Amino acid sequence: MHRLRLPALVALTLFAFARSSFAEPKPPPPLNDPLYMRVIATPWPPQAAILDGGGRRHSAYELYVTNFGRTPFKVTRVDLEGKDGDKIVLSQSVSGDDPIGAMFMPAQNLDPNKAKDPNLMPGQTGVFFLFADWLSGQDGPKTFDTAITIEQHGERAGSGTIHTTPLAVNQDAPIVIHSPLQGKNWLAANGPSNTSAHRRAILPVNGEPHIGQRYAIDWVQLGDDGQTFSGDKSLNSSYHAWDQLIHAVGDGTIVEVQDGIPENVPNSGKLAVPISYETLAGNHIIEDLGGGHFGAYAHLRPGTLKVKVGDHVHAGDVIAHLGNTGNSSEPHLHFQVCDAPSFPASEGLPFAIDKYTYQDYKIDKSKPAQPALVLKSSHAMTRQEPMEDELDSF
């Protein structure tokens, strides 16, 4: 009898040790538990603005996200809802590594030309760039609700969806201005879009992030061959835009003037002066347009500025000539409207040009030695802002 029990006892003991040699399976990360999703997500700026462009309405804002947890997480989905009270008037969703990566930049690598992997390491901050879009006749949003869905694995990790504080949408129409330029075939380089260099130009100043260039445009002029220059491209005078007259976009008061910075050699990879807070915009003018709107004109030709601080100007007045100074690779006019008299320490605001002609076009490169600017149909535009790479005449 005892002999029969002993083997059984040994077997049970061995089985117990065998079970104890294996670790207990870890439970999956808690789903939608705020205690485990250690993330801070903050929309910026304090209010979104409305842009009218391309026959549609748009609004740009950013979402700053910081990983306060102990393990990396991945953003797998971004949802944006525009609301009028409880009514959802627009909805946009983005999922997948490539689409989300195209709207994301980690804070330590703010290169607008490369899509990024939407992962954040512990302690890391990243920025998601949102660009809402809706039809002009459609009911517009009063607030934006933004949500991100994360996947996280490891110690004290949690996965789920995080809903951010609603962002108010300023219902004021964009300020209406006159064009700062005259003539034909002006290209709105780096104009409003969610991927332009201006859209991603975050400049932290005094502890806060700013995108003064959120709706800015770099104006260059195209020739019949679709190029911005004719002849020696190392000479500023070869560029169609160079030395063109710059006009005040509205009645206002001049509040800042910078002159005396020499011009750069175009497309040389070299700048005439080191770039700093003071030299970033080159020779420039800032005009107070009233109502918290400032018109900022950058990269002006030295010695051509015709105004001083305190001068009152009228729409259409010539205030300077176009040049290639400061952080500029070739002659162009950088123009922005912003909420403070500063290029870097401000938030960019949309604007609307009272009237201009939008041109359908293509650059025909079927004959590489003889490219041609092919103009198609034209459209009269009123109270719109040109979007990125539009071709316009004034």
Bridge partners of 135, per DSSP, are 56
- Output the pLDDT for position 15: 34
Tokens 């660009």 correspond to 131
What is the pLDDT at residue 217? 98
Q: How far apart are CA 196 and CA 216, in angstroms?
A: 10
pLDDT at 332 over 90: yes
Residue 105 phi, psi (nearest 5): -140, 130
Is 275:319 a contact under the CB 8 Å cutoff? no
Q: What is the pTM of this model?
A: 0.89
Q: DSSP assignment of 304-355, as one string?
A: -----TT-EE-TT-EEEEB---SS-SSS-EEEEEESSS-SSSS-EE-EEEEE
pLDDT computed for residue 120 by the predictor: 93
Common-topology check for domains 39-169 and 175-393:
no
Taking alpha carbons only, the member of 226, 229, 175 closest to residue 359 is 226
What is the H or E stretch that residue 92 is in? strand 87-95
Mean pLDDT for the chain? 91
From the options 3.40.50.2300, 3.40.1280.10, 2.70.70.10, 3.40.47.10, give the CATH code of 175-393. 2.70.70.10
Write out pLDDT tens, residues 260-300: 999 999 999 999 999 999 999 999 999 999 999 999 999 99
- Closest alpha carbon to 144 in 216, 60, 200, 211: 60
Tens digits of residue pLDDT in 143-166: 999 999 999 877 777 889 999 999
Confidence at residue 314, expressed as pLDDT on a 0 to 100 scale: 98
Mean pLDDT computed over 40-49: 96
The string of pLDDT tens digits covering residues 217-246 is: 999 999 999 999 999 999 999 999 999 999
Which of the four pLDDT bands, split at 50, 70 and 90, describes residue 387?
very high
| 56-201-47-148 Cα dihedral, nearest 10 degrees | 90
Cα of first residue to Cα of last residue in the chain, in angstroms, is: 108
Q: Is the distance from CB of 297 to CB of 180 less than 8 angstroms?
A: yes
Q: Please, are residues 126 and 105 in contact by the beta-carbon 8 Å criterion? A: yes
Residue 7 has pLDDT above 60, yes or no: no
What single letter denotes the amino acid at residue 186? W
Q: Can you name the CATH fold of 39-169?
A: Immunoglobulin-like (2.60.40)
- The token pair at 82 is 């525009």
What is residue 242's predicted lDDT score, i.e. its pLDDT? 98
Q: Which residues contact 252 (CB under 8 A, 6 or more apart)?
A: 287, 288, 289, 290, 295, 312, 313
Q: Where are the domains of the chain?
A: 39-169, 175-393
Looking at residue 13, its pLDDT comes to: 32
Residue 14 has pLDDT above 60, yes or no: no
